[in-house]
A and B are shown apart, each in its own frame.
Chain A
Amino acid sequence: MSWIAQNLWLIPVLPLAASGVIAVNKQRQRKLAATLTIGSMVLAFLLSLCAFSATLLHHGDYGVFREVAGFDWIKFGGQWLQLGWVLDPLTAIMLVMVSFVSLLIFIFSVGYMAHDENFLRFFCFMSLFAAAMLGVVIANSLLLFFICWELVGLTSYLLIGFWYHKPSAAAAAKKAFITTRIGDLGLLLGMVWLYAKTGTLTFYEGGNGCLEIPTLAKAFPFEGFGFVALTGIALLIFVGAMGKSGQVPLHVWLPDAMEGPTPVSALIHAATMVAAGVFLVARVFPLMKPDWNAIYGGPHTFVSMAPMDATVVITWVGAITAVFAATIAVAQTDIKRILAYSTVSQLGYMMLGLGVGGVAVGMFHLITHAFFKALLFLGSGSVIHGCHEEQDIRKMGGLRRFMPVTFATYAIGMLALSGFPLFFSGFWSKDEILHSAHGWPVSHIPFYLGCAGALLTAFYMTRQVALVFFGQYRGSGRESAHDSSHAVPDKKSEPTHVGCYKEKGVPHESPAVMTVPLVILAVFAILLGFIGTPAWPWFDGFLNGEPAVFNFTKLTESGTLGLMLASAVIVFAGLGFGWWLYGKRQRKTAEEPDVLSVAQSTVFWLLENKYFVDEFYEATIIRFNAWAARACDFLDRWIWGGAVFLVAWVTIGLSRLYRFTDDFVVNLGFDTGCETLREGGGEISSWHTGRVQTYLRIIGVALVVLVLFLIWGRKA
C-alpha cells in the first residue's frame, strides 16, 4: 500500500479545514481567506498529482491498479459501517481535474469577487464545495459518496443563492436544491436496496465490495431473477445521477443555477459538480453494465440476448438530453444561460458516451469538457465583468477589440466545445462518443441524435461568439456615458476598477488575475485532446488498465476516418450556418428581433421559452404539490387538529368535574370535620380550670366512686 493511498483523505480535508478556519474569521480578513483557500487547494493539487503519478507508475501492470483504505465508522446491529477511500485511475484523473480547475477558478474568483462585501463567505463556501467534491471523488463507499454528494448539493444551494437578496437567485437556489433532491431520493432508495441485497456499501474490498463479481454473483442469483433487481438498483442510482447532472426531465434547475456568481457557475455548474452524476455512473459502472458472463459463470442465453442492463436507459436519456438542451440554447439571449444549456447538452453526451462506450468514453468527455467549459464560463465572467454586469448578448458586440485576451481564449473554448477538428480536445472526445454510438448494437437513433446535437452545438456557439465579440458594440456605453441602463439596483454595477478605458460604460479587459487562468485553461482545452485520440488511446488504456499503443494507422481506418470526416463536416456546417446567419450580417441595435425568430417565429418562440418545461411543471407537479399541501393543511387543521381539540376539551371537562368534586364534596367534608374537632376541643378545654383544688376534689369523688364500685362489684 503506497503512502499516498493511505493518506488520500488529506486531499478533501485540507480545503475543509480552510473552509472551517475562514468561517470563524472576520469579514475584513480577505487576504487570509484567499490565501487559505488557494493554499489548501495548491496542496490538494500537489497531493492529487502524487496520487496520479502513483497510478501512472502502475499503469501497464496487469489489470486496473486499485488501492483501498478505510476505517470503521458506526456500528449498528452486529455490523460495522465502513467509510473509506479508493485510489484507482478513475479517482486519480478526477482528483487532478477537480483540484486543478478549482485552483484556477479560485484564483479567478479573487479578481472577480474583489469588490463583493461577502468575499469571505464566498471563499468559505467554495472551499467547502471543493472539499465535498474531492470527497465524492475519493469515496470508496456509496455511503461516504452520498454524504459528500449531499454536501456538494448543499454548497451548490448556498452558492446559487449567494446573492440571496435577489429574489430570482433565492428561487433558483431552492429550485436547484429541490430538483436534485428528487434525484437523490432515487439514489437513496437504490443505496438502501443495494445494501439490503449485498450487505455492504463499500465499492471495492478485495472481492467483498458491492461492485465486485463475487458479491454480485452471491447477491443476485440468476434463479431468483437477480438481474432484474440489479438493473432496478442501477436505474435508481441513475436517477440520482440524472438529478445532479441535469438530465431531461430533471434539467430545469441547471440553467436557473446561473443566478450565482460566475466562478460558481464555472466550477460547480459546469466543470465539476454537475459532472458528479456522470462520475457516479462511471464509478458504479459494474452495476450499470454488469459483466453477466462473469457473474453467472458463462454465457446465458436469456441475459446475453437482450441488453438487460441500465446502459440502455442511460444512452437514451443522454442522447435526448444532448439534443433537447442544444435546441433550447439556440434561442437564448443570456450569455450564461446559453452556456448552461450547452452544459446540459454536453452532460447528455457524457451519459451517451457512458451508455454506449463505457467508462473511458464518457469520462474522457467529462475531463475535456471540464476544462473548456470552465474556460468558457470564466470567459463569460470576464465579459460580464468587462461590460459592467451586462449578461444579454444582444447588448454586447464588438468586444473583440476591447478584450483581446478574453476573446482569444473564449474562441478556443468555443472551438473546443463545437468540436473543431484535429486541434481541439472537444473534437476527440465527442468523436469517440459518436464513434461508440455508431457501433451501438441496440439502435442507431442515439447516434443521429448525437450528430444533430453536434451540429446545434457548433451553431449556437457561433451565434454567441458572433453576437458577443463581432460587429458593433451595442451596449448603452456607446450612446451615453451616463449609462442609463445600468440602473440595475446592484452594488456591483459600479465600474470596478480603472482599466485602459477611463470612459464609463465602455467595456474593458479584465485584470491579469482573471486572464491568466483563462490562458492556462485554454492551453489545456487544446492539449487534452491528444491523450485520447484513436491513434493513441492512452486515456482509454489508463482507465481500463491496459497499455496504450501508438498506432497512427488507426486514424486512417475506414470506419474511424469516415466518422471523423462526417463529424468534421457537421461541425463546419454548424459553424458556417451560424456565421452566415449572425456573423455576416450583424444586428444593428439590441432591440432588433433575432434572425431565426423572423424566419421561424413559432419554433423560435417555443425554443425561447425552453419548450415550456417549467410552465409544464408549474401546471402539473407544482400545482399537484400545492393541492396536496392544501389537502394536508385541511387534514391537519380540521381532522387531526379536531381530534386533538376534542381530546383537549374532554380533558378540560373532566378536570372541571374533578375541581367541582374537590371544592364541594371533599373539601366541604374535611372542613366540617375540622370545625367539629376544633369546637369539641374548645369545649373540653373549658373543663380545664387550672384550679388544683378542683382537680383534687374530682380525684376524691372519683376515689369514692371507685371504692363504691369495687365494693358493689365484690358483692355482685
Chain B
Amino acid sequence: MTPLQGCLLVSALLFAIGLAGAVTRRNAILALVGIELMLNAANLNFIAFWRYGPNPEALSGMMVVIFSIAIAAAEAAVGLALIIAIYRHYRTVNLDEINNLKG
C-alpha cells in the first residue's frame, strides 16, 4: 500500500462521514459541519495528489488548498448567516420542517 493510496482512503472515509452527517443530521448546523468535512476530504485529496504527484516542488497543490480553505471559511460564514436568518424566520433549525423550497 503506497502512501498515496492511504491518503486517498483516509480522504474517502472523511468524505463518506461528512456526507453521512450532512444527509442524516436534522440539525442544520450539524449538516453544515458535515459539508465542511466533505470539503476537507477534497483538500486532503489535493494535497495527496500534489505531494505524491510528478512535480512536488512547484507548491501548486498547496496554493489551491489555501484558496479552498479560504472559500470554505467564506462559505461557512454564508451558511451560518443563512441558518441564523432561517432560524429567525421559522424559529427552528430542524431541516425536516424547513421544506418551503418545493414549488
Contact = CB atoms under 8 A, between A and B. Distances in A.
A57 interface: no
B18 to A, nearest CB: 11
B74 interface: no
Interface residues on A, range: 10 to 19
B1 interface: no
A514 B95 CA distance: 119
Contacts of B102: 685, 688-690
Interface in A677-698: 685, 688-693, 696-697
Contacts of B22: 693, 696
B103 A688 contact: yes
B61 to A, nearest CB: 23
A270 B98 CA distance: 112
Contacts of B23: 693, 696-697, 700
A9 B101 CA distance: 94
A692 B34 CA distance: 14
A690 B101 contact: yes
B99 A689 contact: yes
Contact of A700 (B19, B31, B100, B101): B19
Contacts of A688: 101-103
Interface in A659-716: 685, 688-693, 696-697, 700
A566 to B, nearest CB: 125
Contacts of A700: 19, 23
B19 A692 contact: no
A691 B102 CA distance: 8
Interface string B79-102: 000000000000000011011111
Contacts of A689: 99, 102
A690 B31 contact: no
A688 B102 CA distance: 5
Contacts of A685: 102-103
A687 to B, nearest CB: 9
A675 to B, nearest CB: 20
Nearest to A684: B103
Contacts of B99: 689-691
A692 B103 contact: no
A678 to B, nearest CB: 14
A693 B23 CA distance: 5
A693 B95 contact: yes
Contacts of A691: 95-96, 98-99
Nearest to B97: A691
Contacts of B24: 693
Contacts of B100: 690
Nearest to A704: B19
Nearest to A703: B19
A696 B98 CA distance: 14
A693 to B, nearest CB: 5
A181 to B, nearest CB: 84
Considering residues B23, B24, B100, which has the most beta carbons from chain A within 10 angstroms of its beta carbon?
Answer: B23
B5 to A, nearest CB: 16
B31 to A, nearest CB: 7
Contacts of B95: 691-693
A695 to B, nearest CB: 8
A685 B22 CA distance: 24
A71 B54 CA distance: 110
Interface string A141-174: 0000000000000000000000000000000000
Given A700-B19, A700-B23, A693 B103 contact: no
A690 B95 CA distance: 10
A716 B99 CA distance: 42
Contacts of A690: 98-102
Nearest to B99: A690
Interface string A384-425: 000000000000000000000000000000000000000000
A697 B21 CA distance: 11
Contacts of B19: 700
A14 to B, nearest CB: 90
A196 to B, nearest CB: 85
B30 to A, nearest CB: 11
Nearest to B102: A690
Contacts of A696: 22-23
A685 B103 CA distance: 7
A690 B23 CA distance: 14
A689 B95 CA distance: 12
Interface in B32-85: none
A334 B90 CA distance: 115
A691 B95 CA distance: 7
A627 B101 CA distance: 89
B9 to A, nearest CB: 15
Nearest to B100: A690
A693 B31 contact: yes
A689 B102 CA distance: 5
B14 to A, nearest CB: 15
B79 to A, nearest CB: 12
Nearest to B19: A700
B17 to A, nearest CB: 13
Residue of B24, B96, B102 contacting most chain A CB atoms (<10 Å): B102
A410 to B, nearest CB: 112
A711 to B, nearest CB: 14
Contacts of A693: 22-24, 31, 95-96
A697 to B, nearest CB: 5
Indicate the member of A688, A693, A700 with the most B CB atoms within 10 Å. Answer: A693
Nearest to A688: B102
A223 B102 CA distance: 105
Nearest to A691: B99
A524 B65 CA distance: 136
A693 B101 CA distance: 12
A696 B34 CA distance: 12
Nearest to A698: B23
Nearest to B22: A696
A565 to B, nearest CB: 128
A28 B3 CA distance: 128
A295 to B, nearest CB: 103
B45 to A, nearest CB: 14
A700 B31 CA distance: 14
Nearest to A701: B23
Nearest to B34: A696
Given A688-B102, A690-B98, A690-B99, 20 more contacts: A685-B103, A688-B101, A689-B99, A689-B102, A690-B100, A690-B102, A691-B95, A691-B98, A691-B99, A692-B31, A692-B95, A692-B101, A693-B22, A693-B23, A693-B95, A693-B96, A696-B22, A696-B23, A700-B19, A700-B23
23 contacts: A685-B102, A685-B103, A688-B103, A689-B99, A690-B98, A690-B99, A690-B100, A690-B101, A691-B95, A691-B98, A692-B95, A692-B98, A692-B101, A693-B22, A693-B24, A693-B31, A693-B95, A693-B96, A696-B22, A696-B23, A697-B23, A700-B19, A700-B23
Interface of B: 19, 22-24, 31, 95-96, 98-103
The 4 A-B residue pairs whose C-beta atoms are closest, nearest first, are A690-B102, A690-B99, A690-B101, A688-B102
